[in-house]
Amino acid sequence: MRRFLTALCLSLFAAAPAISATCGNTSSGFGAWKSAFAAEAQRAGIGQRGLQALAAASYSQKTINADRNQKGVKYAFNDFVRIRLGSLDAFAASARKRIARNPAFFAAVESRYGVPGSILVSIHGMETGFGRTMGSVPVVSSILTVAYDCRRSDFFIPHALAALQMVDRGMLSPNQLGAFHGELGHTQFLPGNALRYGVDGSGDGRVDFYNEWDALASTANFLRQKGWRAGAGFEPGQPNFPVLNEWNAATVYQQAIAAAAARIDR
């Protein structure tokens, strides 16, 4: 019994959270939060380059404004496609040209991960218009801002640590621009997923989400790891359709990707 109690005490001690940084809803507490978060980052193994990026980060009011203005509008499928992709035929025509630029790459990725090029270019087009709009706020500052902000700290803190880890490893420049919640690169990975699923698709030995081939190969790797099956269909009711839910939880988004990819393959 004593041994049991000792073990219990030790495990309680181990599970006790270290004093953690206190969230806030305005810029005024951000500096103090960063200092406390630096200690957490150090405990998580973040090295000098990551810690310097943390010290240099600033509160992103643009991120908070975007976060507070999220409307949560639910679009019907046709409206969603029209707003995000334009017409399916025009989108499919551009997407086919993207594949035709580098067919060997898409064939290699499909043979390795089982994910067809049509799905990857559909995600690429949907997320950033094939790399045209990858965001306008520094990734490190925006992900730290939403990690500090009280609304969804628990969700974003692991992504903030991952972003610092990426800076540390040379996968992310401290000043790199991304979307409002720290989504980065051609297909807008959150940093935690980027760190976990990132692969080198360009063959230069580095993983850089601002390189199209790295971002697309990493997207294929993500889908594969989430259960994508080579050769199985991806339209609603087919085995790969639910895997799209791992990428984006909005049903209309999943339906639009499947419809666009099917149109490309037609």
Q: Could you list the active site residues?
A: 127
* DSSP designation for 17: P
Q: What angle do CA 23, 27, 30 make, to 5 degrees?
A: 50
In the 8-state DSSP scheme, what is residue 19?
Answer: P
Choice between 162 and 216, CB closer to Ca ion: 216
Task: Tell the smallest beta-carbon distance from residue 68 to Ca ion (Å).
Answer: 36
CB of 147 to Ca ion, least distance (A): 27
Q: What is the nearest approach in angstroms of Ca ion to the Cβ of residue 214?
A: 4
Listed in sequence order, the residues at least 6 apart from 109 whose beta carbon sits closer than 8 Å to its beta carbon are: 115, 117, 120, 201, 216, 217, 220
Q: What are phi and psi of 85, to 5 degrees?
A: -120, -15
Are 163 and 143 spatial neighbours (Cβ–Cβ below 8 Å)? yes
Q: List 149's β-bridge partners, or say none.
A: 24
Nearer to Ca ion, 128 or 211 (CB): 211
50 or 198: CB nearest Ca ion: 198
In the complex, what is the shortest distance from the CB of residue 207 to Ca ion, in angstroms, rounded to a whole number? 6
Residue 59 or residue 213: which is nearer to Ca ion going by CB? 213
CB 204 → Ca ion: shortest distance, Å?
Answer: 4
Q: Which is nearer to Ca ion, 92 or 216 (CB)?
A: 216
d(CA 246, CA 119): 14
> Do 89 and 266 touch, CB atoms closer than 8 A?
no
Joined together, the tokens standing for residue 31 give 């500096």
Where along the sequence are the contacts to Ca ion (CB under 5 A)?
A: 200, 202, 204, 206, 214
- Kindly state the tokens that stand for 208: 């850089």
